[in-house]
Amino acid sequence: MILTDKRILEEIRKGNIVIKPFERKYLGSNSYDVHLADTMAVYRDDILDARKHNELEYFRMHDHQGFLLLPGRLYLGVTQEYTETHAFVPFLEGKSSIGRLGIDIHSTAGKGDVGYCNTWTLEISVKQPVRIYPGMPIGQLIYFEISGEVLVPYNRKQTAKYNRKTKRPVESMMWKNFNSKLLGQK
């Protein structure tokens, strides 16, 4: 079941959901709008390697100019909001107004885990050139109830790759999956 606005507010008061900064005007009937921060990134290399630590080149957008996104390129953005979810599964979805501009904000990583405590890295791609701006609403968080007890929340997992708190987009950590300890190889 998806949490309603009233329930989200109750869970914020209990500390089960944390959104910083939180502004009541961004709370929808069953979601919370998140906004694009001014820091963006692109991969330095044109060819990415899943076994390699692919490095990012960071840049900042300016309020008045924004930034022009082009098709055929992956951009990593980040939410202004830092979130914590201790008793629910958070889902990040694009807003309909963003989708109608041909902007996708995630390829496959829309679901968080119970215990996820961080900003959200956005995997941004576009269908045609679009200018974006820092602070614009970019997505919405939806919270789902879970059934059963979580043994190890994400923020306590030894193998969690995205626990380091940051205000910048985070590159793929797939290369860590190829670590010989994780694969059980010598």
Q: State the catalytic residues.
A: 123
C-alpha distances (whole Å) from 45 to each of 41, 55, 72, 75 are: 12, 8, 14, 13
Q: Can you tell me the distance from the alpha carbon of 126 to that of 72, in angstroms, rounded to the nearest whole number?
A: 8
Q: Which residue has the tokens 């919370």?
A: 32
Specify the pairing of strand 82-85 against strand 17-20: antiparallel
State how far the alpha carbon of 71 is from the alpha carbons of 23, 77, 114, 131, in Å: 33, 15, 33, 12
CA-CA-CA-CA dihedral for 2, 38, 77, 91, to nearest 10: -10
CA distance readout (Å), 104 to 11, 150, 154: 29, 31, 25
> Please, which residues have CB within 8 angstroms of residue 54's CB and are 6 or more apart in sequence?
43, 44, 45, 48, 171, 172, 175
